[in-house]
């Protein structure tokens, strides 16, 4: 553990031990491998990916699977396909709110999976699944592409896409669900990405220009809604949800961390994305050592490191990676709670990006 965390000091003698950064590709690759193995340990025989030891939350499983595809040593494609098959097998036709294509959370006890008959949000589950489908296609693997075309199929993916479009409002934004009609910045950023990803997939997999155009139009409306309804031009901040007070950046969730979602999901890029990260970093300068960690929210929020990577703040990304290595990767046993597969997915994305590994 010590040698891996400080190996780069041989080359960078001016860096003190307390500020050691990981040793480039070797460390990033090791993190990819170990985190991929951890996520694998959380997958059940039927393909489900656990959130905790007794829960399946499809939103977090989708995030885990997207990152899982970054594994550079072991092909995770069969395991990702197993997860996606589980998701399809558990689609609601319709659910208890009248929506077709949603998936509930499940509990697991003695090997028995039981539906909770609820989900945290209808739109974000659907959006991240669509992004996963596009990520799987983009592996370029012929078997994976056949799985998407023939097993998943455009019809079911379109039903899942319609979960989002049917919840879209006149301002372009998407409500979380009929029983909770809130238009969240985080969800809508994911909705934009999911709709855009499915538009691209429809053209690539089925040469369906009509579906591509329709979903791109919906995605553009979401982006417009985010910029016109949620963005505060005077402060360059975003409302955490439509109608919310202006964000207080000393409140980590949702106010501060939600500012990163548009950049992470491609709604914005360049200067606007960098400004959002700079605002977050100014409010939470100790994020690399988990200064936001509280008993109420003890999670490592690995997505922040990916936002930092996109903003070009690689020095702080490396500091954060060392923190996660020490607290989770090199722990005994490794990856203790509150690390969970969704965090693993983001951690894999960050390490793959930093090492230019996939």
User: What ranges do the domains of the chain cover?
Assistant: 1-41+285-358, 48-250
Strand-pairing partners, residue 174, are 168
| Matching residue, tokens 């949603």 | 102
At 25 the pLDDT is: 81
**Minimal CA–CA distance to 102: which of 169, 172, 180?**
180
At 309 the pLDDT is: 98
Distance CA 94, CA 89 (A): 13
Q: What global pTM score does this model have?
A: 0.94
**End-to-end C-alpha distance for the chain, whole angstroms:** 24
Q: What is the pLDDT of residues 136-186, one digit of tens each?
A: 999 999 999 999 999 999 999 999 999 999 999 999 999 999 999 999 999
**Does residue 64 contact residue 345 with C-beta atoms inside 8 Å?**
yes
Instruction: Pull the structure tokens for residue 301.
Output: 């929020």
Residue 123 backbone zone (phi > 0: left; psi -120 to 50: alpha; other: beta): alpha
**Does residue 27 contact residue 317 with C-beta atoms inside 8 Å?**
no
**Does residue 240 contact residue 226 with C-beta atoms inside 8 Å?**
no
DSSP 8-state symbol, 180: B
Check pLDDT > 90 for residue 8. Answer: no
Helices (H) and strands (E) in the chain, counts: 14, 5
Q: What is the pLDDT of residues 219-249, one digit of tens each?
A: 999 999 999 999 999 999 999 999 999 999 9
The crossing angle, in degrees rounded to 10, of helices 77-89 and 122-137 is 150
Q: How many CB atoms are located within 10 Å of the residue 14 CB?
A: 6
Q: What is the pLDDT of residues 86-112, one digit of tens each?
A: 999 999 999 999 999 999 999 999 999
Longest dimension (CA), the chain: 62
Q: Is 168 helix (H, G, I), strand (E, B) or coil?
A: strand
Q: What is the pLDDT of residues 202-222, one digit of tens each?
A: 999 999 999 999 999 999 999
Architecture of domain 48-250: Alpha/alpha barrel (1.50)
Q: How many CB atoms are located within 10 Å of the residue 54 CB?
A: 10
Distance CA 165, CA 4 (A): 47
Backbone torsions φ then ψ of 211, nearest 5 degrees: -65, -40
Cβ contacts of residue 315 below 8 Å, gap of 6+?
21
């Amino acid at each position: 553990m010590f040698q891996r965390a400080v190996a780069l000091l041989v080359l960078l003698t001016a860096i003190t031990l307390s500020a050691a950064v990981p040793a480039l590709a070797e460390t990033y690759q090791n993190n990819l491998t170990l985190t991929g193995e951890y996520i694998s340990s959380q997958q059940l025989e039927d393909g489900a990916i656990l959130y905790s030891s007794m829960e399946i939350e499809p939103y977090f499983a989708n995030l885990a699977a997207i990152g899982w595809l970054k594994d550079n040593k072991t092909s995770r494609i069969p395991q990702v396909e197993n997860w996606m098959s589980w998701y399809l097998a558990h689609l609601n036709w319709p659910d208890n709110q009248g929506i077709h294509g949603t998936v509930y959370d499940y509990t697991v006890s003695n090997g028995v999976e039981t539906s909770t008959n609820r989900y945290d949000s209808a739109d974000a589950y659907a959006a991240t699944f669509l992004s996963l489908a596009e990520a799987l296609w983009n592996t370029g693997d012929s078997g994976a592409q056949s799985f998407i075309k023939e097993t998943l199929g455009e019809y079911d993916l379109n039903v899942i896409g319609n979960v989002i479009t049917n919840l879209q409002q006149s301002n372009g934004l998407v409500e979380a669900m009929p029983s909770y009609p809130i238009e969240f910045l985080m969800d809508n950023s994911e909705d934009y990405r999911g709709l855009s990803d499915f538009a691209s997939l429809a053209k690539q997999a089925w040469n369906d220009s009509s579906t591509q155009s329709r979903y791109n139009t919906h995605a553009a409306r979401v982006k417009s809604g985010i910029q016109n309804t949620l963005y505060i031009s005077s402060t360059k901040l975003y409302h955490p949800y439509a109608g919310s007070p202006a964000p207080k950046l000393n409140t980590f969730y949702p106010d501060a961390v939600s500012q990163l979602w548009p950049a992470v999901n491609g709604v914005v890029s360049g200067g606007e994305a960098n400004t959002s990260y700079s605002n977050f970093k100014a409010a939470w300068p100790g994020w690399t050592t988990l200064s936001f960690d509280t008993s109420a929210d003890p999670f490592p929020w690995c997505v922040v490191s990916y936002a930092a990577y996109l903003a070009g703040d690689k020095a702080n990304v490396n500091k954060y990676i060392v923190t996660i290595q020490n607290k989770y990767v090199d722990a005994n046993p490794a990856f203790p709670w509150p690390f969970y597969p969704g965090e693993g997915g983001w951690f894999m994305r960050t390490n793959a990006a930093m090492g230019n590994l996939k």
